[in-house]
Amino acid sequence: MARPVGRFAPTPSGYLHLGNLFCSLIAWLAAKSRGGEIILRNEDLDVERSRKEYALQAQRDLDALGLFWDQGGDKGGPHSPYGQSQRFDFYRVQLEKLEAQGRVYPCFCSRAQLHAASAPHASDGELLYNGACRNLTPEQVAEKRRTRSPALRLRVPEETIAFTDLHYGPQAQHLPTGCGDFILRRSDGVYAYQLAVVADDGAMGVTQVVRGRDLLSSTPRQILLYRLLGYPVPEFGHTPLLLAGDGRRLSKRDGDQSLSGILSRGYSPRDVVGGLAYLGGLLPEPAPAWPEELLPLFSWEKLPRGDISLPGSLFSGSR
C-alpha cells in the first residue's frame, strides 16, 4: 500500500484544545504507522477570526507533544505557501474552473431569508438551501447586483456520493437532500472552507484526511469538488469528538483544556499524549508515552466510535 500523505489543518482562531490534539495524534499515527508524511497547513482562511499568535502556538504545541510534521509551518516545502491566507489567487483559479463548467451561481439571499426559507438538514441541523437564486435570469442578476454583492454557490447534481470511512465505514449522501447547493465564496469575498480545503488537499498531494467526525457530513460534497476540480479523492478517516464533563463538545474557548493550561498544572507532554492514547483505546490506562512509542499499538479498530467524555480525573486537578 502506498505511503499516505496526511495533514494537520488547524484553524488559528484559538488555542488548540484536547480534542484538536487528540485528532492530531490519530492523524499522525494513521499516516506514520504506514510510513507516511504529515503536512501542516494553517487554515487562516477567515483572516478576521485568525491570529498569527494562535498559529505559532499550534506549532509549538504539536512540537511539544512529538507530533512532528514534514512540510509546512516553519519547515516550508514544495507546496508553499502553506497558509490559506496566502493562497487566495489559487482559490480564485479553482473557482474559475467550476465557473467554466457552469456549476456556479450568485446567491443574493440574506441571512434572514436563508433562515426563514431553508429546510434544516435532517441529520445535523445544517440548513439546506431552498434554491431561491438557482434559476435567476441574467437580467435579475444584474438588477440584484446593484444593491447587494452575492455569495457564490455550487449547483449540486442529482447524485448520491458514497465512500468508505476508515473508521465509520460505508457512508452515502444524496447531494440535493443531504447538503444542497453550498457556498463556495461568501458575499464578503471570503472563500468557503469547503472549496479551500479540497483545493489545498488536492494541490498538496494529500492522500489521507483524518479529522473530527463533525466533518463527516461535509465529505460527500468535498468528494464532488475533488472530482470537479480534477484531483484524486483521498481516503478519509474521521475521529470521535471529545466532550467536556457536561456533555458539550470541547471548543477553543475552553482555555483550561489548552495544552499550556494542562502543562501549567504539572502534567508533562508525555502524560498528555498517553492520556489521549488511553482515550483512543490504544492504552489500557493513562500512562506517559510519546507518539513514536504508540506506533505499533495503533489501529482504527481500537478507537471508539462514539464521542468520548473526558473523565473528570484526566488532566483536571494539578499533578
Residues lying near ligand GLU in the complex (CB under 6 A): 9-11, 43, 197, 211, 215
The residue (of 130 and 217) whose beta carbon lies closer to ligand GLU is 217
- Is 144 among the residues known to form the active site? no
DSSP 121: P
Query: For residues 41-63, b (16+ Cβ closer than 10 Å) or e, as one string?
Result: bbbbbbeeebeeebbebbbebbe
CA-closest candidate to residue 206, choices 24, 1, 2, 5: 5
Distance (Å, rounded) from C-alpha 103 to C-alpha 35?
38
Q: 10 or 280, CB closer to ligand GLU? A: 10
Amino acid at 112: A
Measured over the CA atoms of residue 82, residue 85, residue 89 and residue 95, the dihedral's sign is positive
Q: How far is the CB of 141 from ligand GLU (least distance, A)?
A: 32
Contact 9, 62 (CB under 8 A): no
Taking the least distance from each CB to ligand GLU, the nearer of 10 and 275 is 10
Catalytic hit among 32, 52, 144, 252 = 252
**CA 46, CA 245: separation in Å to the nearest integer?**
30
Q: How far is the CB of 281 from ligand GLU (least distance, A)?
A: 22
CB of 59 to ligand GLU, least distance (A): 14
**Residue 236 Cβ, how far from ligand GLU at the closest point, in Å?**
9
The residue nearest ligand GLU at its CB is 211
Q: Is the Cβ of residue 104 or residue 216 nearer to ligand GLU in the bound state?
A: 216
β-sheet bridge partners, residue 235: 208
Query: Of 17 and 153, which has the nearer Cβ to ligand GLU?
Result: 17
Interior/surface letters 115-126, b for 16+ CB within 10 angstroms, e for the rest: eeebeeeeeeee
Cell of 271: 502524560
d(CA 7, CA 22): 14
> Shortest approach of ligand GLU to residue 110 CB, angstroms?
26
In contact, 266 and 318? CB cutoff 8 Å: yes
d(CA 210, CA 64): 21
**Closer Cβ to ligand GLU, 11 or 208, answer by number:** 11
DSSP code of residue 230: T
Rounded to a whole number of angstroms, the minimum distance from the CB of residue 46 to ligand GLU is 10
- Cβ atoms of residues 181 and 131 within 8 Å: yes
Positive or negative, the CA dihedral 168, 314, 33, 215 is positive
Grid cell for residue 102: 457552469
Active site residues: 252
